[in-house]
Amino acid sequence: MENVAAIVYTAGGELMHENCPNALCPVLFRPMIEWVNAALDEAGVSDRCYVRRSGEEEIEKYTGSAPVFCCGEESGHPVLSAKDWVLGRKDKNFIVLCAEAPFVDAASIKAAFDHHTETNYEMTVLASGGRTAFIKELEISSFWVKGAFLLELFASSDPEDKAGAQFVSSALKILSDRQTVAGTFISGKQEINMRAKNALELVSLNAAARTAVFKKLCAGGVNLICTDGVVVEPTVKVGAGTTILPGTILRGSTEIGENCVIGPNSYIEDSKIGNGAEVNSTQIRSATLENGVKIGPFSQVRPGTVIRENCKIGDYVEIKNSDIGARTAIAHLTYIGDSDVGEGVNFGCGCCVANYDGQHKHRTKIGNHAFIGCNTNLIAPVEVGDFGYTAAGSTVTKDVPEYALAVERGTQKNIENWVKKHDAIKIK
């Protein structure tokens, strides 16, 4: 598309949330205006302006460097506020989009533009395929319009129509009076004009967005046994043969490989998961799990972590900002923070790689094939060499050379009959 520009406007109101402009209400965690922005980005429409309502300053967090016009309650259709901006672009075609109709997509924008220019319409409304194409009956959220015609509309708009509700129909009337030509582009996407009139309908928008993603996933060979509680953002990629179990939330730039089992009840955000991985009831943020990693249930991987091939991470394991070498096993009840761990390392139960002394966070290094005994504390900064061992229950503050066993432990004493003397237990 050449010589195009976009006007994104908010219809305003507090239909959904008090103190939250409608366009910022989230659909699948993302403000609706961001959906529209993403469609324009993908369609390559970079010359944009925004029109917001007064009191909706927060909108400007999502408008980048584009100009933002503010329309008061008295200003009619919000698009009128962009008049001067349009004047400088009167030879362009404009796509006018409502920031509260999140399901407009780049493909429809582009195809509608082709239709608009091929037919040489003054104005082309985007409609959903499910509807009969009677233009009067449509709820119109988006349309292409020639700049010159848009300026005429501005000139003739009814100043009494504060909410701008008649803006499009008056456009159609002008078209009809002048016998100029307008038309409709029917998108294959049913939900293209969906908008919420209240908070409950916002739930429906989310449901529609989820269903659209499920269709795409299924078409790509993803196995969904039960989609209850499954929320996958449209930005997420999932490989064929992967099973997603109920209660799983996948967000942001997450990429899941092939033949994985993800869930139940897993949460993965901005992370990369390799092929053949299993993520059971585990939360992962901004991390990488390579091929064949198995983790869970009830573990957490925090930002900056890489878990390399075929590691086996069990339950109640938290890993933060660490690099875990291939085939390492961390079975249970362990915290590893700010560490570089080698390959084939074995962590016993209850280990703690403490990285914080109250003032600073330090980094810990553990060599290949080390064996960290259960309930070991490694107090950073400390290093365990290749094949280094630590005895169970030891607090390790000094480096452990390769092949050495570090022991910090007293001698076990058994105090005979202590229990009888202390009457510590009544017979239950």
Question: What is the distance between the alpha carbons of residues 372 and 396, in angstroms, rounded to a whole number?
Answer: 10
Q: Does 188 bind its own copies (CB under 8 A)?
A: no
Q: Which stretch in 50-58, 106-114, 167-175, 417-425 sits in contact with its own copies by CB under 8 A?
A: 417-425
Closer residue to its own copies, CB minimum distance, 340 or 386: 386
Give, as ranges, the residues between 314 and 343 that touch its own copies (CB under 8 A): 314-316, 318, 327, 331-335
Question: What is the distance between the alpha carbons of residues 182 and 126, in angstroms, rounded to a whole number?
Answer: 11
Distance between start and end Cα atoms, the chain: 83
Give, as ranges, the residues between 377 and 406 that touch its own copies (CB under 8 A): 377, 379, 387-389, 391-398, 400-401, 403-406
- Tell how far CA 66 is from the center of its chain: 23
Distance in Å, CB of 61 to its own copies, minimum: 16
Closer residue to its own copies, CB minimum distance, 83 or 294: 294
How is residue 186 written in tokens? 């029917």
Closer residue to its own copies, CB minimum distance, 69 or 267: 267
Q: Does 55 bind its own copies (CB under 8 A)?
A: no
Q: Which stretch in 105-113, 148-156, 159-167, 366-374 sits in contact with its own copies by CB under 8 A?
A: 366-374
Q: Residue 155: helix, strand or coil by DSSP?
A: helix
Annotate each residue in 167-186 with x if it binds its own copies (CB under 8 A) or - if it does not, as one string.
--------------------
Total of residues contacting its own copies (CB under 8 A): 113
- Beta-carbon contacts of 154 under 8 Å, excluding residues fewer than 6 positions away, are 79, 80, 83, 86
User: Inter-axis angle of helices 167-178 and 147-156, to 10 degrees?
Assistant: 110
**Contact between 341 and 325 (Cβ < 8 Å):** yes
Distance in Å, CB of 194 to its own copies, minimum: 16
Residue with tokens 């022991």: 407
Closer residue to its own copies, CB minimum distance, 90 or 398: 398
Q: Does 231 bind its own copies (CB under 8 A)?
A: yes
Q: Which stretch in 64-72, 124-132, 139-147, 352-360 sits in contact with its own copies by CB under 8 A?
A: 352-360
Integer CA distances (angstroms), 216 to 223, 396, 398, in order = 11, 51, 54
Annotate each residue in 243-262 with x if it binds its own copies (CB under 8 A) or - if it does not, as one string.
x-xxx-x-------------
Compute φ and ψ for 151, nearest 5 degrees.
Answer: -65, -40
- Beta-carbon contacts of 370 under 8 Å, excluding residues fewer than 6 positions away, are 342, 345, 346, 384, 385, 386, 387, 388, 389, 390, 400
Please pick, from the candidates 117, 166, 227, 291, the single residue that binds its own copies as defined by CB under 8 A: 227
Please pick, from the candidates 166, 265, 275, 286, the single residue that binds its own copies as defined by CB under 8 A: 265
Q: Does 200 bind its own copies (CB under 8 A)?
A: yes
Distance in Å, CB of 412 to its own copies, minimum: 4
Integer CA distances (angstroms), 385 to 111, 127, 213, in order = 62, 66, 48
Distance in Å, CB of 417 to its own copies, minimum: 5
Q: Does 284 bind its own copies (CB under 8 A)?
A: no
Integer CA distances (angstroms), 322 to 251, 284, 307, 327, in order = 22, 13, 8, 15
Closer residue to its own copies, CB minimum distance, 155 or 200: 200
Closer residue to its own copies, CB minimum distance, 121 or 335: 335
**Contact between 174 and 146 (Cβ < 8 Å):** no
Active site residues: 332
Distance in Å, CB of 68 to its own copies, minimum: 23
Nearest residue to 316 (alpha-carbon basis) of 330, 337, 303, 327: 330
Compute φ and ψ for 86, nearest 5 degrees.
Answer: -70, -40
Q: Does 198 bind its own copies (CB under 8 A)?
A: yes
Closer residue to its own copies, CB minimum distance, 89 or 210: 210
Give, as ranges, the residues between 116 and 155 that touch its own copies (CB under 8 A): none
Closer residue to its own copies, CB minimum distance, 177 or 423: 423
Question: What is the distance between the alpha carbons of residues 277 and 235, in angstroms, rounded to a whole number?
Answer: 20
Nearest residue to 92 (alpha-carbon basis) of 178, 4, 23, 206: 4
Please pick, from the candidates 350, 361, 362, 363, the single residue that binds its own copies as defined by CB under 8 A: 350
